[in-house]
Amino acid sequence: MKHKLIDIAKVIRSKNSGPYEITFDIILKDKETFNALVEHKCINAELIASLYKIKVEDVITIVEFVPANAIKATIIRPMCSGDIRETDVYGAQQHAPLLDLEFDY
């Protein structure tokens, strides 16, 4: 069955983790959904890389954080926060492409 991430997550957000990284937090609505996504490895480095058109090596970590029913992906920022071509100093508006993700499980 197909599930849209926006329907099964209660928080989807992005933020700097220090000036050289952007981290994405996906907090699922319940333990069952979290377990399903983890079991099927739905959120993985290849997915994040293809979504943001970056190299897989630039996806630093995918962490499943059990206490919060959360899956977290961290990528290398395209540039250090505040560099001359910066578009989002806090990195807080880079999450939108995640909303449209769809998973089959």
Binding interface with other proteins (CB under 8 A): 11, 15-21, 23, 25, 27, 51-54, 60-61, 63, 65, 67-70, 72, 74, 76, 78, 80-90, 93-94, 96-97
Q: Is the dihedral of CA 75, 80, 86, 87 positive or negative?
A: positive
> Cβ of residue 92: shortest distance to other proteins, in angstroms?
9
Tokens 């480095």: give the residue: 45
Of the CA atoms within 13 Å of residue 7, those in its CB half-sphere come to 6
> Cβ of residue 1: shortest distance to other proteins, in angstroms?
25
Nearer to other proteins, 1 or 57 (CB): 57
Nearer to other proteins, 1 or 84 (CB): 84
The residue type of 44 is N
Contacts for 85 with CB less than 8 Å, ≥ 6 apart: 79
